[in-house]
Amino acid sequence: MGARAAMAIHGGAGTILRSTLSAEREAHYLSTLQAIVCAGSEVLAKGGSALDAVSLAVSLLEDCPMFNAGKGSVFTNAGTIEMDAAIMDGNTRRAGAVACVQHVRNPIQAARAIMEHSPHVLMVGQGAETFLRQHGLPFEDSAYFYTEERHAQLQRARLESGVLLDHDGANLLTSTSGKAVEPAPLDPDRKFGTVGAVALDLQGNLAAATSTGGMTNKLPGRVGDTPMLGAGCYADNQTAALSSTGTGEAFMRSLALYDIAAQMQYLGYSLEKAAHTVVMDKLPLVDGQGGIIGVDRLGNIVLPFNTEGMYRAWQRLGESPVSAIYTPGN
C-alpha cells in the first residue's frame, strides 16, 4: 500500500485584523488558499512527485499579489524588490536556493533550476540571474512586482519609524495615489510574509519549498531564513518536510526546522511533539514569532504558530481541503 499522500501550504503569519475584515475579503483569502492546495494535491493524485507539487503550489502563491513573494513582494528601503527562495527533495536531500534576485518571475523555479542544473545549492544576486537567464527562466521588469499596498507599507515605514511598523491595523491603508486600500486579514505591517509548501507523494517521498520578498524597509542585501536549509526550508524522507514563516533571524539562529527533524530522528519524537516544542517553547526564547507547516513520512500534518494567525491550507488525498487564517476556535 502506498504512502498517504498529503500537502500543506502557508502564506505568512502575523497580527489579526478581524475587526476590519469583511466576510467577502476573508472568503477570498480562504478560497485562494484552498484552490492552491487543491492544485498541488492534484499533482499528487495523478502520481506526480512531491517536488512537482510544492513547486507548483509555491509558484501559484508567488503569482498572487495577496502574498509576500514573487508579484506581491515587499520593498527594501531603497525602493527595490529582493526575493529569496529554497526547495529541497527529501528523497535525495538535494536542494537549491536563491537570494536577492530582483527580476526572475518565480524565485521558487529559480531555486529548482539551481538544484537541477548547477553544482551549487545557493546562488545570489546578479550572478544567479545571469545563470537563470542562460537556462531560460522567465523574467519580468520591476513594474511587474509593484503593488500599491506594498508601496504604501514602505512609505509608512519611512515616515513613521524607519523600521517594520507595529500598528494595530485598525485603519485602512492609504496608497501613494491617495486611494484607500482594504486591509488584509493579517496586518501587513505585522505580518511575517513568506509562502511555502510541503508534500508527501504516493511513492513516499517528501519535499518542501519556501519563498519570500523579505521584510518591508529591509536593508538591500538582507537575506533571511527562507533560503537557509534547516531554517526556512527542510526535507528528509526519514523525518519530515518543513517550511517556516516568521522572524527570520530567530529561525536562523535556532535552525528551527532542523531542530524539529533532529528531535524526530534522535529522540523519537512525533512531528507534532517536535514542532510544538520548537514553535511554542524554543523560538520565543530568541524572540522568534511565526509558525511552520510540516508533513511526515506517514502523512501526518502539523501547522503550529505562536502568532495570532497564519494563512494556511492543507489536504490529504481523499479528503476535502481545509483553509484557515486565525487561531483555532477564534
**Which pLDDT tens digit goes with each residue over 219-239?**
999 999 999 999 999 999 999
User: Residue 224 corresponds to which cell in the numbers above?
Assistant: 533571511
* 32 dihedral zone (left: phi>0; alpha: psi -120 to 50; beta): alpha
Q: How many CA atoms lie within 13 A of 151 on its CB side?
A: 14
Please state, in angstroms and rounded to a whole number, the distance separating the CA atoms of residues 11 and 246: 11
- CATH for 6-326 (3.90.1150.10, 3.10.450.50, 3.40.630.30, 3.60.20.30): 3.60.20.30
- Residue 307, helix vs strand vs coil: coil
The pLDDT confidence band at residue 38, using thresholds 50, 70 and 90, is: very high
Strands 173-174 and 122-124, bridge-based pairing: unpaired
Q: Which residue type is seen at 269?
A: Y
**Residue 22 vs residue 305, higher pLDDT:** 305
Q: Which three cell numbers stand for residue 171?
A: 485603519
What does the DSSP assignment read for 16-53?
E-GGG--HHHHHHHHHHHHHHHHHHHHHHHTT--HHHH
Place of cell 498529503: 6
Distance, CA of 319 to CA of 176 (rounded, Å): 44
Arithmetic mean of pLDDT, 163-173: 34
Please, are residues 240 and 260 in contact by the beta-carbon 8 Å criterion? yes
Strand ranges in 3-137 using DSSP code E only, listed in sequence order: 6-16, 83-89, 95-101, 122-124
Instruction: Tell me the three cell numbers of residue 62.
Output: 508567488
Confidence check: pLDDT of 204 > 80: yes
pLDDT in tens, 244-303: 999 999 999 999 999 999 999 999 999 999 999 999 999 999 999 999 999 999 999 999
Rounded mean pLDDT, 51-63: 98
The pLDDT assigned to 316 comes to 97
Q: Are 320 and 304 in contact (CB under 8 A)?
A: no
Q: Which residues of 111-133 are buried (b: 16+ CB within 10 A; e: fewer)?
A: bbbbbeeeeebbbbeeebbebbe
CB 255 within 8 A of CB 230: yes
Rg of the chain on CA atoms, in Å? 18
Q: Produce one character per residue of 45-82: b if its CB has 16 or more CB atoms within 10 Å, e if not.
A: beebbbbbbbbbbbbbbbebbbbbbbbbbbbbbeeebb
Question: What pLDDT score does 170 carry?
Answer: 30
Asked if residues 57 and 9 have their Cβ atoms less than 8 Å apart, the reply is yes
pLDDT of residue 4: 85
Say if residues 307 and 289 touch (Cβ distance below 8 Å): yes
> With contact defined as beta carbons under 8 Å apart, do 158 and 217 qualify?
yes
**289-306, pLDDT tens digit by residue?**
999 999 999 999 999 999
Under 8 Å between Cβ of 241 and 200: yes
Give the residue-averaged pLDDT of 124-144.
97
- Cα-Cα-Cα-Cα dihedral sign, residues 307, 330, 167, 191: positive
The whole-number pLDDT of residue 193 equals 79
E strand or H helix at 107, and its extent? helix 107-117
Annotated active-site residue 76? The verdict is no
Non-local (6+) Cβ contacts of 281 within 8 A are: none
Domain range summary for the chain, segments of one domain joined by +: 6-326
Catalytic residue among 194, 226, 239, 247: 194
